[in-house]
Structure 1
Amino acid sequence: MPSLPDGLPFPATAAEARLLVPALAERVETADRTGEVSVIGGADASSTRFDPTRTVHAAIVALGWPSLSPLGRGGATTTGGLPYVPGLLGFREVPALAEAWARLDPKPDLVMMDGHGLAHPKGLGIACLLGLVLDVPVIGVAKSPLVGEVEGTLPDDAGASAPLVFKGRRIGVALRSRRGANPLYVSPGHRVSQETALDWVRRCLTGRRLPAPTQAAHEAAGALRLSARAGPGP
């Protein structure tokens, strides 16, 4: 079973998870420790908010860099974890993502997570927790804001960005990934600075709203969910 840093078990209740948040948030690193990147990963998890079985379908993909060609994928489905609680999504979905990571070959040098990093009320979005658990650099790439306000005007040009500010502090950026598209919200997850996180997401844009790694992970998680719904074959 996957565990938190120092071998701590994942919490069984939301109350236990809330107690762990401050100490885990302090362990998040925002200095660059990416090293050389030859394999870049994308991670995503799919679940239904009020599913009584608390099923999570998670996928992590590996793409070659700079080709962005697929190299491998790992998937996992878990049940019975934490319920959906705002602000604690990582504790619900990271166990499945960690299992998917264990089944992935090759392992990425850097991962883009479909979700928030530091752009979170307590500074511990799912991208942060994933980085701490996997012990790898992770970037948060979310499709909608959780906290904060965009400072200034975000131009409509592809690649344009504007600071995302919360309580007077910059926690990430809003990024226009393509002209006319709703912005993405990019923030460090672990071992990546804000500048480097933005740079990597821009480099992985291929004309779609999502960068290639999270787009591939989104499709892989969706396929896993559909496969589970279809059930075993004859």
Structure 2
Amino acid sequence: MKINQRHDWPLTAEEAIVIQQQLASEVITSDQLTTVQYVAGVDVGFTESGSITRAAVAVLSFPDLQLQEYAIAYRPTTFPYVPGFLSFREVPAVLEAMEKLTITPNLILCDGQGIAHPRRFGIACHLGLLTNIPAIGVAKSLLVGKHAELPEERETWQPLIYRGETIGAVLRTRTGVKPVYVSSGHRVSLPTAIDYVLRCTTKYRLPETTRWADKLASNRGSILPSNSS
């Protein structure tokens, strides 16, 4: 997989803000997808008291959501945990894992924000732009924005509003369970993002892509196919 490395990885939030502001204008929030045959999830864990980042990418067939390939990469952690700057802490190792793949996914679902971000440049935007693969942010918690009360039924959603603009959606993926926060990452519109998140979510709150990537990133993936990396 070809990675479009646009910048060096900064060490401070001030340097990271400059990169976010420079690249945010390049994010595409309209649909530019090909036929989706493979969807990927990415996640990271940390070892050795947080000094080492363990990144995992899981590639699933679509629409049947069967694990086809995975890759794991280890890299020294060089950026602290600061809300709004997740990609600078996690994406360097994620890119190393993605470079190992033999299957190029048609769509990436990220465990984090897309444009539902103070500078409209969350981890899904960053990863989508550097890989030029359509990407969606599927976050477990709210970073910015407000929304109306959400019904309890699966597939219901409300717009997520920030400074008068719709930046995403709060989406119920399972009846009676906490919602997720969906936003465009790159080359995917919000309605399409909602549709794919629901189609990738079966009986749990989170998409199967995220669940597999989380297992791998935390070293809990015990049943893996023989064709995985």
- Same-fold call, TM > 0.5? yes
What is the RMSD computed on CA atoms of the aligned residues? 2.1
Q: Map of 1:20-31 to 2, 5 A cutoff? A: 20-31=19-30
- Distance in 2 (alpha carbons) for counterparts of 1:114 and 1:159: 19
Match of 2:128 in 1: 131
Per the alignment, residue 77 of structure 1 pairs with 74
Structure 1 residue 149 corresponds to structure 2 residue 146:
yes
Aligned to 1:111: 108
Query: What whole-Å deviation, never above 9, does each CA across 1:166-221 have from its counterpart, x for those lacking one?
Result: 11111100111111110000001111000110010011121101011111111111
Q: Which runs of 5+ in 2 are unaligned?
A: 223-229
For the residues of structure 1 that align with 2:157 and 2:40, how far apart are their CA atoms? 23
Q: Matches of 1:213 and 1:153 in 2, distance apart?
A: 27
| Cα 1:45–1:186 shift into 2, 3 Å | same
The corresponding residue for 2:42 is 43
Q: CA separation in 2, counterparts of 1:210 and 1:160?
A: 15
Cα deviation, residue 224, structure 1: 7.0
- Following superposition, the deviation at residue 5 of structure 1 comes to 4.4
Is the Cα–Cα contact under 8 Å of residues 212 and 221 in structure 2 kept in the other structure?
no
- The Cα shift of 1:52 comes to 6.0
Q: Which amino acid aligns with 1:154?
A: L
Q: Deviation of residue 80 (structure 1)?
A: 3.6
Cα distance in structure 2, aligned partners of 1:143 and 1:27: 25
Match of 1:169 among 165, 169, 173: 165
Count how many residue pairs are aligned between Structure 1 and Structure 2. 221
Alpha-carbon separation, structure 2, partners of 1:213 and 1:224: 14
Distance 2:192 2:24 in 1: 20
Runs of 4+ in 1 over 2 A off after TM superposition: 2-6, 12-15
Q: Map 1:203-218; keep pairs closer than 5 Å.
A: 203-218=199-214
The aligned amino acid for 2:21 is P
Amino acid at match of 2:125: C
Equivalent residues of 1:75, 1:224 under 8 A apart: no
The answer (yes or no) to whether the contact 1:34–1:109 under 8 Å persists in 2 is yes
Q: Deviations over 1:46-92 (max 9, x none)?
A: 238xx462x22111111111111110001112114111222111111
Q: Measured at CA, do residues 225 and 86 of structure 1 come closer, stay the same or move farther in structure 2, by a change above 3 Å?
A: farther
Q: Which amino acid aligns with 2:41?
A: G
Q: Deviations over 1:103-141 (max 9, x none)?
A: 122121101001110111110111111111111111000
List runs of 5+ in structure 1 lacking aligned partners. 227-234
Is 1:182 equivalent to 2:181 in the alignment? no
